[in-house]
Amino acid sequence: MPSIMISFRFLLEVITVMGLLGGIFTGKPWAVKIGFAFLGLLVVLVWSRYGAPKTPQVLKGVRKLLLESSVFVLGTIGFWQLYGDKAGLLYALAALADLVLLYILALR
């Protein structure tokens, strides 16, 4: 079970970044496309510096939870705006389930 949850977390992180960057290919106005692409790049930079397990500056405890929550809230907003209600809701439920299960199972 732990390896499945860790794999799901990694997949969710990749989907978050790809979903935000993929906004470039939607029919939204250019300002929206560029804004979400910028958010996608910002998520990559911040996550790689403070969220990746092997980085020297990895956050722990409440700070890590705040980082994860922030990234997943940005992802939820992005999916809602870029891809619609169903995609936003599905993403939000997946992110919430992931966070809750990882902390309940103490896999952090």
- Which amino acid is it at 44? V
**pLDDT value, residue 59:** 93
Kindly tell me the number of DSSP H helices and DSSP E strands found in the chain.
4, 0
pTM score, whole prediction: 0.89
Per residue of the chain (108 residues), what is the pLDDT tens digit?
A: 778 888 999 999 999 999 999 999 999 999 999 999 999 999 999 999 999 888 999 999 999 999 999 999 999 999 999 999 999 999 999 999 999 998 888 876
Within 13 Å and on the Cβ side, how many CA atoms surround 60? 7
**pLDDT value, residue 2:** 79
Within 13 Å and on the Cβ side, how many CA atoms surround 53? 5
* CB contact set of 8 (below 8 Å; sequence gap of 6+): 98
Whole-Å CA distances, 44 to 6, 41, 86, 88, 106: 18, 5, 25, 20, 24
